Amino acid sequence: MPTCTRMFMIAIGSMVGGILRWEIATLSPVSINTGIVWSTLFVNVVGSCAIGLAAGRFRSSDSSARHFVMTGFCGGFTTFSLFSLESLLFLMRGQPGLAAANIMLSLLLCLVAVWLGFRIGQGLTAGAGDARS
Q: Where are the domains of the chain?
A: 3-132
pLDDT at 39: 87
Rounded distance, CA 91 to CA 93, Å? 5
List the chain residues with pLDDT less than 50: 130-133
pLDDT at 83: 87
Burial grade of 42 (CB within 10 A; 0-12, 13-18, 19 or more): middle
Burial 73-85 (b: 16+ CB within 10 A, else e): bbbbbbbeebbee
pLDDT at 77: 95
Its pTM stands at: 0.77
pLDDT at 22: 93
Residue 2 is classified by DSSP as: -
